[in-house]
């Protein structure tokens, strides 16, 4: 359900500022220029929140608020006064009529979003609340709250091949400052910060509209099961254990950000679908590739591609999960009548010959050779040299 925010203000400027403030959130802004229009619109649209000015022509905000609160159908709509009228007596008088909150002009857009966000569950526009970056190759920022610089360095080194930027801060105060200025895509908090600071920070970030949906990871020593369980109960998005395994961390970040990682394994070059397996094709990687295999192949077929290169030259060794994946892959290609060529290194070729089921597989040395083979017409599967 899309939330509706009604702004009642005689100033078009204020109504534009309100629209601007919420433009990146999944909600509709409805406008009214005075209390009479405001009441009529409230009755028609049933908004989830009303932002109400005081000084307006035709019917002012106090009168509209009074009428709203005396109407059984409308009295439940939360009202935030957004007005230049901010003297103590005024505020007290209006508060008695029943307002949820009060913002005195001038105001920052962030404050407006924060106060409305306390009433309705504001979500940023987009596919998945937290996904700013869609692809694994898009830049993203990761805030690491850790008082041990060596750990921050370890994380930086572990994922330095990604376009992600790691920002390390020592304290929760610095983390809050950073999040209020530039909300990161992921936050990693050391659970060993003193005085349970990690849990306090977690709660603060969750109550802030800007970081409400940001994935928050806990960083903990593997053996510290008590803290680990506590973090899971509190609702940390994921737990990263020390010693940190970079590949595991990278996968968790990609998953939390709902990133499309398929480009790591699938690409289109010269009207040929290229499928690559990395050097370390772990069961996690196999699972990812399996998940993308059918949709990526279907996309290729839909766009008129009928040739595939399966590039295994970086692969260090086979195991059963990889072999199973390759059987599935080749079966898929055959079903769709796709021509394919395998690229392998000498190690892989040797290993293939050692298994009954794979000894007949044939390889070429490079992607260029494979493309040349495919361009000649029917693929010729050669043994790697």
Partner 1 sequence: MPTSDHISESVFKDTITHAVQNVFKTMFNATALLAEEPQTAAHDATENTRDILIEGQLVVGTVGFIGDISGLIYLYMSAPFANQLAGHILGMTEEELEESGDEVVNDAVGEVTNMTVGVFKNQLCDHGYPCKLTIPSILRGSNFSIEPITSASRRIYRFKIGTNILVADLLMKQGD
HSE (CB half, 13 Å, CA atoms) of 22? 28
Alpha carbons 93 and 70: distance in angstroms, whole number: 16
Alpha carbons 5 and 100: distance in angstroms, whole number: 14
Interface with partner 1 in residues 189-208 (CB under 8 A): none
Q: Given the complex with partner 1, which of 84 and 320 has the nearer CB atom?
A: 84
Contact predicate 205/197, CB 8 Å: no
**How distant, in Å, are the alpha carbons of 168, 171, 208, 265, 349 from that of 156?**
9, 18, 27, 23, 35
Q: Smallest distance from the beta carbon of 109 to partner 1, in angstroms?
A: 10
By the rule CB under 8 A, 66 interacts with partner 1 = no
Q: Given the complex with partner 1, which of 61 and 215 has the nearer CB atom?
A: 61
Applying CB under 8 A, which of residues 5, 10, 117, 333 lies at the interface with partner 1? Answer: 10
Q: Is 10 helix (H, G, I), strand (E, B) or coil?
A: coil
**How distant, in Å, are the alpha carbons of 83, 86, 93, 95, 96 from that of 89?**
14, 8, 6, 10, 11
By the rule CB under 8 A, 37 interacts with partner 1 = no
User: Please, which residues bridge with residue 31 across strands?
Assistant: 7
Contact predicate 313/344, CB 8 Å: yes
Applying CB under 8 A, which of residues 2, 13, 96, 378 lies at the interface with partner 1? Answer: 13
Interface with partner 1 in residues 105-134 (CB under 8 A): 105-108
Stretch that binds partner 1, among 51-59, 134-142, 209-217, 371-379 (CB under 8 A): 51-59
Residues binding partner 1: what is the number (CB under 8 A)?
Answer: 25
By the rule CB under 8 A, 90 interacts with partner 1 = yes
By the rule CB under 8 A, 95 interacts with partner 1 = no
Token pair, residue 34, equals 């005075």
Q: Smallest distance from the beta carbon of 23 to partner 1, in angstroms?
A: 9
Contact predicate 140/186, CB 8 Å: yes
Q: Smallest distance from the beta carbon of 60 to partner 1, in angstroms?
A: 9
Token pair, residue 119, equals 């009433």
Q: Given the complex with partner 1, which of 31 and 85 has the nearer CB atom?
A: 85
Q: Given the complex with partner 1, which of 90 and 290 has the nearer CB atom?
A: 90
Applying CB under 8 A, which of residues 14, 65, 145, 274 lies at the interface with partner 1? Answer: 14
Alpha carbons 337 and 177: distance in angstroms, whole number: 57
Q: Smallest distance from the beta carbon of 86 to partner 1, in angstroms?
A: 4
Applying CB under 8 A, which of residues 24, 40, 43, 55 lies at the interface with partner 1? Answer: 55
Interface with partner 1 in residues 230-289 (CB under 8 A): none
By the rule CB under 8 A, 304 interacts with partner 1 = no
Q: Given the complex with partner 1, which of 86 and 163 has the nearer CB atom?
A: 86
Residues in the chain: 385
Applying CB under 8 A, which of residues 5, 8, 17, 322 lies at the interface with partner 1? Answer: 17
**Cα 153 versus chain centre, distance:** 24
Q: Smallest distance from the beta carbon of 122 to partner 1, in angstroms?
A: 19
Q: Which residue has the tokens 């406008």?
A: 31
Interface with partner 1 in residues 162-191 (CB under 8 A): none
HSE (CB half, 13 Å, CA atoms) of 106? 1
Contact predicate 160/136, CB 8 Å: no
By the rule CB under 8 A, 374 interacts with partner 1 = no
Longest dimension (CA), the chain: 89
Stretch that binds partner 1, among 7-15, 184-192, 252-260, 338-346 (CB under 8 A): 7-15
Q: Smallest distance from the beta carbon of 55 to partner 1, in angstroms?
A: 5
Q: Given the complex with partner 1, which of 34 and 262 has the nearer CB atom?
A: 34
Alpha carbons 247 and 135: distance in angstroms, whole number: 17
What is the binding site for partner 1 (CB under 8 A)?
Answer: 10-14, 16-17, 20, 54-57, 83-90, 104-108
């Amino acid at each position: 359900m899309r939330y509706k925010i009604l702004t009642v203000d005689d100033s078009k400027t204020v109504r534009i500022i309100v629209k601007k403030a919420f433009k990146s959130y999944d909600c509709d802004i409805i406008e009214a220029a005075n209390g009479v229009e405001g009441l009529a619109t409230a009755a028609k649209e049933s908004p989830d929140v009303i932002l109400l000015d005081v000084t307006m022509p035709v019917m002012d905000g106090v009168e509209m608020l009074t009428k709203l609160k005396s109407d059984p159908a409308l009295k439940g709509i939360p009202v935030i006064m957004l007005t230049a009228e901010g003297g103590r007596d005024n505020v007290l008088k209006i508060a008695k009529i029943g307002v949820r909150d009060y913002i005195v002009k001038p105001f920052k857009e962030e404050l407006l979003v924060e106060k409305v966000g306390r009433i309705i569950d504001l979500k940023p526009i987009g596919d998945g609340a937290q996904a700013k970056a869609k692809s694994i190759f898009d830049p993203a920022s990761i805030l690491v709250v850790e008082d041990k610089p060596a750990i921050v360095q370890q994380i930086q080194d572990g994922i330095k091949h990604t376009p992600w930027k790691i920002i390390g801060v020592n304290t929760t105060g610095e983390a809050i400052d950073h999040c209020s200025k530039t909300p990161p895509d992921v936050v990693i908090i050391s659970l060993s910060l003193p005085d349970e600071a990690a849990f306090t920070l977690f709660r603060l970030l969750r109550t802030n509209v800007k970081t409400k949906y940001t994935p928050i990871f806990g960083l903990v020593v593997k053996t510290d099961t008590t803290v680990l369980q506590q973090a899971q109960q509190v609702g940390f998005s994921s737990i990263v254990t020390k010693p940190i395994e970079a590949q595991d961390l990278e996968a968790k970040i990609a998953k939390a950000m709902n990133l499309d990682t398929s480009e790591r394994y699938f690409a289109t070059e010269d009207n040929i679908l290229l499928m690559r397996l990395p050097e370390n094709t772990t069961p996690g990687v196999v699972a990812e590739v399996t998940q993308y295999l059918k949709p990526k192949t279907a996309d290729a077929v839909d766009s008129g591609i009928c040739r595939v290169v399966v590039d295994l030259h970086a692969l260090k060794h086979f195991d059963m999960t990889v072999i199973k994946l390759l059987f599935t892959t080749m079966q898929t290609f055959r079903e769709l009548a796709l021509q394919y060529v395998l690229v392998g290194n000498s190690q892989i070729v040797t290993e293939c010959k050692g298994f009954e089921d794979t000894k007949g597989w044939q390889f070429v040395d490079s992607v260029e050779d494979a493309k040349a083979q495919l361009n000649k017409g029917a693929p010729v599967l050669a043994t790697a040299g």
